[in-house]
Structure 1
Amino acid sequence: MANLPPGTAPIKAEFLVSAATRAIPDDDAAEGSTSHVNGRKDGEPTQDSDRGTALSGAQRKKLSKEERKKNRGANKGRRFARVQDEVELCWKVATGKDCEFGSECRFTHDVSAYLNVKPKDIHFPASEDLLDAPPYVRGRLSPDVEMSESSNTSIDLSTKCPVFERTGECKHGLKCRFLGGHVRPVEGGAVDLVSDEEKKARAAGSEQELNFIDGPTLKMIRTKKYPQPISGAYLKELQAAGEESKVASEPLVAQDAAPASSIDVQTPDAPAPATTDTEDQSQKDTPDVPLRFSEKKRLHWKGKTYLAPLTTVGNLPFRRLCVDYGVDITCGEMGLAMSFLQGSKEEWSLVRRHPSESTFGMQIAGSKPALLVPAAEIIGRECAGNLDFVDINCGCPIDLVYKTGSGSALLDAAGKLGKIIMGMNKALGDIPVTVKLRTGVKDGRNTAHKLMPRLAPEFGVSAITLHGRTRQQRYTKLADWDYIKQCVDAVRAREQDEGLAPVPIFGGGDCFSSQDYWEKMDGTGVDGIMIGRGALIKPWIFTEIKERREWDISSRERLDLVRKYAEYGLNHFGTDTAGVNTTRRYLCEALSFQYRYIPIGLLETLPGRLNDRAPAFRGRDDLETLLASPDSRDWVKISEMFLGPAPETWTFTPKHKSNAYGSEESQG
């Protein structure tokens, strides 16, 4: 190892294939190029970035057309085509119901014709079927079985449907790609769907996802007919005070400069300002009186583990996987306030919660009270009882979010942030509001130590998370845990001076091992550490933390983790053709991080470090070598062990753009 450059993972000589190190995955580029906002990439400007001047509407329109033309056909926006069945069977018929449209239905009602062209059932292996040598999955326990007296050779009675096995029914019916697990043959070659009432009763409270927003509610939101009395009254207060017209508020000063001036907003327990007759009527019409901050649910988070909200990859199946490995607090992917108010089905899916998530929150981003407060009111009402906190994103660094005044832009707009927090507290009732921050906007100009002591006593924040980097740094430098300690000390000093109850403070950045976790806990005074990339690379990090050990996890145990993820994905996204390939896409996203794990049994010194570069190495067995492959074609092969062959039309472009499967990038 002496001849290898600094920052290289200390892999034992017997496992080295080459001293050349792999390229470090660019997490900044991955984070910045996968924004789900309007399907647009980060870096597609809304102004002339060279000159810093605003563009006219006509100029923006022309620029947008040029960008669309430039990106056409290159899959640069990471759009994933939905893979459908060759013949589309009516959903009602597929689930054994009558279709009200009859012969006018645009989907086929011919079950035999559908089953004749449907792809063959997929075999989903059990945990005991996994091997650490090729073919990695043991053959089927029984030979392929075709339906007796039937030409439907797509159905294999030896397969098991992972959704049916857990819940006793499969809502995809005949469209399920694991159909043999829940049908029985009847005379004439037909099939009947079956259910298991005992399993259904057992799964009623443990498998059904929560916070499902139905179509009529989304329509009310979309058409602006959803009542928002609390936010309406609050925004009128701001308007009457002339506050809402102030788009920009005073910036926070840099570290070691003079303190920022106080903000003219009411404190959480202060009396409300005088209201007009109109506002009095609005308050009378309000069905639920907003709680004071002192009546909010207290968050007892000290010593708990916390999975960071992770765009794209922090979906419900991944969070559920992390729960299996011991995480205590989970948070959904960042959603945009504007999209919530537009009734976006995709955005509202981000609040879905699995019953296994014992403490669950959602994260929201927005630039002003007029967006965040109404969105919070709807969220609070629709998710009442199934949402433990709402987190405001004040740390997202990507340009598209920052330039709208959202994310880390709020770090320099403390007055506006205060109004947002207080309004959301009113709108959410007893649901606490938390905030996730970065240390500041510009490198070398930390401001969080000025802002954080004000968040709880002045604005009513119930918990704070601080990521130890500025917006400008992204992931290019190690997180500054000394500064995190400085911020914790500043908050605790004010709490002690004013006799305030301590607010939970979590730090974040580069935590990758149990040893690292507990050293940071002991050295900084934080109540816990939010873990992001560390959990993406090794989801079992929460087990390590709880058991205070480094887990030399075997390749077979890791493959079982992949199997679990696939199962949870099918439960969430569906077992039909579209659901299987959506699960495949997100499984490959997960593998695009997990391949970066270097087994600790291969290292000369422990613990492993997140930012160490890996030389080319082989594992202790064939499976360990396969799981370390940086080639996305291998990730697709792994997905095929659980989800069957990938369709010819299916493509996968990794967030980190390495050897994109099925795209032009892999055909050069």
Structure 2
Amino acid sequence: MTRTLQPGVAPIKAEYIISAEPKEFVDDDAAEGATGTHERGGDGDGDERPSKRAKTNRQDRKKNRGANKGRRFTKSTDGGGVQLCFKVANGGACDRGDSCKFSHDIPAYLASKDPDILFPFPDALTAEPPFVRPRERSPNALYESVDASAVCSGFLATGECKQGWKCRFLGAHVRTGEDGTLELVKSDPPGEKDKDAEEERNFVGFPVLKALHGRKYPLPLATAYLKSLEEKDKADAAAARAAKAAAAASSEAAAAQQDVEATTADPPAVPEAAAAVKEEDTTMVDVDAQKDTPDVPMRPQEKRRLNWTGKTYLAPLTTVGNLPFRRLCVSLGADITCGEMGLATSFLQGSREEWSLVRRHPSERTFGVQLCGNKPTSLVTAAEAIARECGPNIDFVDVNCGCPIDLVFQTGAGSALLDAPSKLSKIVIGMSNVLGEIPVTIKLRTGVKDGKNTAHKLMPRLPREFGVGAVTIHGRTRQQRYTKLADWDYIKQCVETLRQATDDENLPTIPIFGGGDCYSYEGYKTSMEQSGVDGIMIGRGALIKPWLFTEIKEQRSWDISSRERLELIRQYCEFGLNHFGSDTTGVNSTRRFLCEALSFQYRYIPVGLLERLPAQLNERPPAYRGRDELETMLASGNVKTWVEISEMFLGKAPEEWVFTPKHKSNAYGSEEGQG
């Protein structure tokens, strides 16, 4: 007997259902909202704010700011209040002497330091409690916080640990010296090839950030381009004024001629001045027709060709699309990755946080940077700075024309650029000029308003006028968000329009990717065949199950076990420690972003629990239990459970540590989350 399910309810086998009541619905629009420097919305979605014109009182405005407004994350430090100087922590000498506000007393620091973390090995994982078998501790005779059983992955990879004495795996790289005290050690460094395979790229130093912040960083190409735009705008304005004056003169001449005709039988010949005015009036039409495109030639240099056909593409994802997550997805089959959306203005202000978004792990085979802005002055200059500092390690720069959140849209950036093709043209052409051989790609939505798709109008201009190297189109409008399924029929229309444009102009074919609702290899294949795209950009599907890339590559539904999922979490933690650092601050940054990742991954419904395949992204499950205790735990939407999972790998969370997920369904470390 076949059960009848309500639309949107996942078909879980009856023996696993605990309650017919569905789990709390997760608002994906809120999940990508803005809360701080790095949570502005990416492709994303959320943080709806009232219009400035909205007639609401102060309480209503506060209520409507969005699910993520005001998230705060504490920064925990160890050492029992002993703040060790960074230079001393790394085995050096502090040049500030007595004026340094940090401690130089290493013994005092070690005496109060939080104990080393014993990171588990893969063979310690199990599907039954306690899920991670504890390792035996071997505390140092001098300091209990230092454990000889600790293993520091950064030390193993490069031969030294950048956190030095502050490392939470300190026992892996200290020894007892001849005087009986502990000292830092370095191992024999691995071969250069092995070291290059581990060290991140695109680090930008303080002198560069300082020069950018002080507006002393040289940007000659952008300056020249923007000057030519300014001159063109002045010329256009002058031509428009002349055309307006000519039109007025023509109108006066016509009126005068009518007066003459009214009093004479034979009309006089058209005055030479009037003929000149008519000729000028024709010129006015030509000026209007050219307003969309600045008359600035592109530099005659060969761009890198992007051969993306058939490759898998991980979407740029704000907050959760950080380097450790991208690295995990690459290990599972992602071919193309793109950094989190970065604000052009913040790059130009020398923001250290913004410049961290361009870091690339060597395992990322094809890597791009995504920029968001609303003017050529910011986007073109930011593109040149990125090219100068990181050019050899960037494969493309993507222009964000898809971000729908009000915070971005109301500034004229993101999806607002879809309604400003003239401005967008100037932006993309200028970026292409300053980026040298690095191609510019563009990410679009179908349009701004529901029922008014406009992306197809841009398609013929993208290869011919804009000169883009690749196009990605998300099958939803800005207004739609995630309320309806992606429109793959319209994506097909855009593909055909783009292909026809390149054929008509005899231009090289450029890759076009689609996006929206891809959650299985069957769905991936169907959407590819239906639309004719060269590939599909994957966002939410990868957040919920990062192994989706493996499923696509191997063309199967992977009934991944709970232990295999726990191993992926272990790998994420290891990648996070390598990226954020192995001191207490780095450990809790890794903990925070792991909890962000788990706030999506708990939504995965194991293949073996479903009555039919493939699973659908928009289906929500009733309350269910897993096939073992770990699978049940991984299905929990309780943030306290996510923190417990983090503690299996990263040690006990500090008492003062606070975490609120993007969905804000519950929280950890606050009164709201303690009940």
**Taking structure 1 as the reference length, what is the TM-score of the superposition?**
0.88
In structure 2, the CA distance between the partners of 1:182 and 1:599, relative to structure 1 (3 Å rule), is: same
In the other structure, the counterpart of 1:156 is 147
Shift of 1:264: 3.4
Q: Greater Rg, structure 1 or structure 2?
A: 2
Alignment of 1:578 with 2:585, yes or no, is yes
Does the residue aligned with 2:109 lie in a helix, a strand or coil?
Answer: helix
Alpha-carbon separation, structure 2, partners of 1:196 and 1:452: 55
The one of 69, 78, 81 equivalent to 2:74 is 81
Alpha-carbon separation, structure 1, partners of 2:453 and 2:63: 40
* Matched-pair contact (CA < 8 Å) for 2:201–2:361: yes
Alignment of 1:303 with 2:318, yes or no, is no
In the other structure, the counterpart of 2:250 is none
Shift of 1:266: 5.3
Shift of 1:234: 0.9
In the other structure, the counterpart of 2:386 is 379
* 1:242-321 paired onto structure 2 within 5 Å: 242=233, 263-264=290-291, 272=297, 291-292=299-300, 295-321=302-328
The one of 443, 446, 449 equivalent to 2:453 is 446
1:231-253 CA-to-partner distances (Å, cap 9, x unmatched) read 1111111111117999xxxxxxx
* 1:80-99 paired onto structure 2 within 5 Å: 80-85=73-78, 86-99=81-94
* 1:84-483 paired onto structure 2 within 5 Å: 84-85=77-78, 86-140=81-135, 143-148=136-141, 150=142, 152-186=143-177, 189-199=180-190, 201=192, 203-242=194-233, 263-264=290-291, 272=297, 291-292=299-300, 295-483=302-490
CA RMSD of aligned residues (A): 2.4
Q: Which runs of 4+ in 1 moved over 6 A?
A: 37-41, 65-71, 243-246
In the other structure, the counterpart of 2:53 is 48
Unaligned runs of 5+ in 2: 238-287
One-letter code aligned to 1:359: T
Alpha-carbon separation, structure 2, partners of 1:315 and 1:244: 45
Shift of 1:523: 1.4
1:592-612 CA-to-partner distances (Å, cap 9, x unmatched) read 000000000111101111110
* Matched-pair contact (CA < 8 Å) for 1:167–1:200: no
1:522-543 CA-to-partner distances (Å, cap 9, x unmatched) read 1111000000000000101111
Shift of 1:311: 0.4
Does the residue aligned with 1:211 lie in a helix, a strand or coil?
Answer: coil
1:19-47 CA-to-partner distances (Å, cap 9, x unmatched) read 11112210101223446379899445572
* Matched-pair contact (CA < 8 Å) for 1:376–1:427: yes
* Matched-pair contact (CA < 8 Å) for 2:292–2:423: no
Alpha-carbon separation, structure 2, partners of 1:271 and 1:307: 34
Alpha-carbon separation, structure 1, partners of 2:63 and 2:306: 50
Q: Which moved more, 1:35-44 or 1:642-651?
A: 35-44
Does the residue aligned with 2:460 lie in a helix, a strand or coil?
Answer: helix
In structure 2, the CA distance between the partners of 1:34 and 1:263, relative to structure 1 (3 Å rule), is: farther
Alpha-carbon separation, structure 1, partners of 2:154 and 2:377: 41
1:481-535 CA-to-partner distances (Å, cap 9, x unmatched) read 1110011011111222222211100000010011110111111110000000000
The one of 566, 574, 587 equivalent to 2:594 is 587
One-letter code aligned to 2:363: S
* Matched-pair contact (CA < 8 Å) for 1:33–1:42: yes
Does the residue aligned with 2:339 lie in a helix, a strand or coil?
Answer: strand
Alpha-carbon separation, structure 1, partners of 2:216 and 2:495: 43
Does the residue aligned with 1:48 lie in a helix, a strand or coil?
Answer: coil
Q: Which moved more, 1:630-639 or 1:186-195?
A: 186-195
* Matched-pair contact (CA < 8 Å) for 1:319–1:330: yes
Unaligned runs of 5+ in 1: 52-61, 247-260, 273-289
Q: Which moved more, 1:591-600 or 1:182-191?
A: 182-191
Shift of 1:576: 0.5
Shift of 1:5: 1.4
Alpha-carbon separation, structure 2, partners of 1:342 and 1:424: 18
Identity value in percent: 61
Alpha-carbon separation, structure 2, partners of 1:185 and 1:129: 29
Shift of 1:110: 1.1
In structure 2, the CA distance between the partners of 1:125 and 1:222, relative to structure 1 (3 Å rule), is: same
Shift of 1:452: 1.7
Does the residue aligned with 1:530 lie in a helix, a strand or coil?
Answer: strand
Alpha-carbon separation, structure 2, partners of 1:244 and 1:22: 62
One-letter code aligned to 2:313: Y
The one of 492, 497, 509 equivalent to 2:499 is 492
* Matched-pair contact (CA < 8 Å) for 1:569–1:583: yes
In the other structure, the counterpart of 2:276 is none
In the other structure, the counterpart of 2:265 is none
Alignment of 1:638 with 2:665, yes or no, is no
Q: Which moved more, 1:194-203 or 1:468-477?
A: 194-203
One-letter code aligned to 2:24: A
In the other structure, the counterpart of 1:18 is 19
Does the residue aligned with 1:385 lie in a helix, a strand or coil?
Answer: helix
* Matched-pair contact (CA < 8 Å) for 1:422–1:459: yes
Does the residue aligned with 1:436 lie in a helix, a strand or coil?
Answer: strand
In the other structure, the counterpart of 1:253 is none
Alpha-carbon separation, structure 2, partners of 1:192 and 1:43: 53
Alpha-carbon separation, structure 1, partners of 2:402 and 2:559: 33
In structure 2, the CA distance between the partners of 1:295 and 1:312, relative to structure 1 (3 Å rule), is: same
Alpha-carbon separation, structure 2, partners of 1:476 and 1:404: 24
One-letter code aligned to 2:409: Y
Alpha-carbon separation, structure 1, partners of 2:34 and 2:296: 45
Shift of 1:665: 2.4
**Taking structure 2 as the reference length, what is the TM-score of the superposition?**
0.87
Alpha-carbon separation, structure 1, partners of 2:289 and 2:541: 38
In structure 2, the CA distance between the partners of 1:545 and 1:314, relative to structure 1 (3 Å rule), is: same
* Matched-pair contact (CA < 8 Å) for 1:238–1:244: no
Alpha-carbon separation, structure 1, partners of 2:203 and 2:466: 30
Alpha-carbon separation, structure 2, partners of 1:472 and 1:371: 26
* Matched-pair contact (CA < 8 Å) for 1:8–1:614: yes
Alpha-carbon separation, structure 1, partners of 2:164 and 2:221: 43
One-letter code aligned to 2:130: P
Shift of 1:49: 2.9
In structure 2, the CA distance between the partners of 1:29 and 1:263, relative to structure 1 (3 Å rule), is: farther
Figure out how many residues of one structure are paired with residues of the other and give that number: 617
Alpha-carbon separation, structure 2, partners of 1:69 and 1:133: 43
Alpha-carbon separation, structure 2, partners of 1:70 and 1:552: 41
The one of 519, 532, 536 equivalent to 2:526 is 519
Alpha-carbon separation, structure 1, partners of 2:74 and 2:464: 48
